[in-house]
Amino acid sequence: MPSIENRSEPLKLAVINRKFWPVCGAAELEVANLCRALTAEHHHVDILTVRWQKHWPSEFRYHDCDVYRLTKLSSGPFGTFRFLKSLTSHLGQRDYDRVIVFGLGEEAWTVATTIDDATSLVLRVTQLHLSNIQDFTTRQSETLKSAVSILVDTPATADFIRRHRPEVTDRIRVVAPLPATPEDCIEVQRDVAAGKTAARVALSDAHPILQIDANQPLVITCAPMENDLGVCDLVRAWQTVQRKHTMARLWILGEGKLSGTVWDEILEHELVYTVIMPGFFDNLSLVLNAADLYVHPLRTQSACCVLETAKAMGICTIETASLEELKSAAKSESTRAFIEDPNRGLMVPRETPAALSTTIDYLFQHPEFATDFGLETQRRLLNRSALVRAAEEYLIQPSEPAVTTDTP
């Protein structure tokens, strides 16, 4: 495989993600890191995104990249049509060597049917993109078949695509998280407060039930409610938290077979007005960006892409763990209810509402600790080393020999 340095000509690249700037989510941060890595190798990079607000500039420079905010995506199918038409027009006017699309939305299918044969489509797919997909639609299937490379975040994501679309198996590769630079972490820290305020304003405008003021502590969980009642432990802990922090709010996202049981727990503890269950959100990054804390209170060990997304966004996370895990993570004796693990987050024992409530109370009283710890976890997560540089992962062609990497 020729390295990037040995390529004869710089490439003209387009990177597409519906949200980009301000950086307020894991996908946006990955786009930023990817583009900076590509421009460092002298490639020309255009970032194509959505102009969500009319007063936002339609074009600007981000480091050495040109950012194009296309037609505002208003609600409903007509808004989507306008965005896709604008995207089609932009791609038709420019001859890109490679188009990298984050996700499997309508824009990915539009790229697959718009670009000519000389242009390669690369898809970046994560567990979050597949969280509500039972099987791929016809358009998503066609998009997957059109992609020259399908880059996924975990082996589980790769296995899901292989099960449903075995014909694209040879194009799938698991790639390591893109490393963040110290400059990225500084930018994220600078925008934490502003991003949180903006997210809360947007959510409050979206629906009255999501009304949340800037001075109200907000805890979010999206832990599965299928075969685990850990969320009920959080509800019981919240009753204790609520007595001391009357302005605090808890949002339980998602649904599941045990949603009714969780709601009964909320009713029993008279927490209807301080705990809400708003269901699913298409844009989890916006909701997570409004949070002060993210809690993953399961009674059994279970991976969760939303938990990992929260960590990648720099949110302080609390995760329940077994006694063995706690002993392994503890560096020294501590009188606190939680164990600090900078590589994983704050950890408390499972099925222990008292530990949850004490930890949440401590973080509410020491918000600077929560902010710093969340950003440290983010830095460690995004700085995990990869054996192959990020830019090469996105530019390597399937015909070239694959490079084996250790998946973090």
Tens-place pLDDT, residues 229-250? 999 999 999 999 999 999 999 9
Residue located via tokens 């499972």: 350
- Cis bond before residue 22 (omega within 30° of 0): yes
Rounded Cα gap, residues 28 and 25, in angstroms: 5
Rounded Cα gap, residues 62 and 10, in angstroms: 19
Edge-first strand listing for the sheet containing 98-102: 59-62, 65-70, 44-50, 12-16, 98-102, 120-125, 149-152, 172-174
Rounded Cα gap, residues 374 and 312, in angstroms: 9
Among the listed residues 142, 92, 97, 151, the one whose alpha carbon sits nearest the alpha carbon of residue 119: 97
- Tell me if domain 4-178+386-395 and domain 182-382 are identical in fold: yes
Question: What CATH topology corresponds to 182-382?
Answer: Rossmann fold (3.40.50)
Rounded Cα gap, residues 262 and 229, in angstroms: 8
Provide the token pair at 92: 């038709």
Q: What is the CATH number of domain 4-178+386-395?
A: 3.40.50.2000
What pLDDT is stored for residue 401 in this prediction?
39
**DSSP characters over 89-142:** HHHHHS--SEEEEESSSHHHHHHHHHS-TTSEEEEEE-HHHHTT-SS--HHHHH
What pLDDT is stored for residue 408 in this prediction?
37
What pLDDT is stored for residue 306 in this prediction?
81
Q: How far is CA 91 from CA 27, 57, 204, 378, in A?
A: 22, 20, 35, 34
Rounded Cα gap, residues 324 and 107, in angstroms: 46
What pLDDT is stored for residue 134 in this prediction?
84
Domain boundaries, the chain: 4-178+386-395, 182-382
Contact assessment for residue 7 and residue 97, using Cβ atoms and an 8 Å cutoff: no
Contact assessment for residue 279 and residue 301, using Cβ atoms and an 8 Å cutoff: no
Rg (alpha carbons) of the chain, rounded to whole number: 22
What pLDDT is stored for residue 166 in this prediction?
95
What pLDDT is stored for residue 260 in this prediction?
95
Three-state SS at 75: coil
- Runs of H (alpha helix) within 207-279: 230-244, 259-268
What pLDDT is stored for residue 405 in this prediction?
40
Among the listed residues 97, 80, 72, 86, the one whose alpha carbon sits nearest the alpha carbon of residue 15: 97
**Long-range CB contacts (within 8 A, 24+) of 85-88:** 87/16, 87/48, 87/111, 87/114, 88/114
Rounded Cα gap, residues 35 and 11, in angstroms: 12
What pLDDT is stored for residue 330 in this prediction?
79
Contact assessment for residue 382 and residue 183, using Cβ atoms and an 8 Å cutoff: no
Rounded Cα gap, residues 211 and 374, in angstroms: 24
pTM of the model: 0.55
Edge-first strand listing for the sheet containing 345-349: 275-279, 249-253, 218-221, 293-296, 316-321, 345-349, 339-341
Q: What stretches in the chain show pLDDT beneath 50?
A: 1-7, 182, 184-186, 189-190, 384-388, 400-408
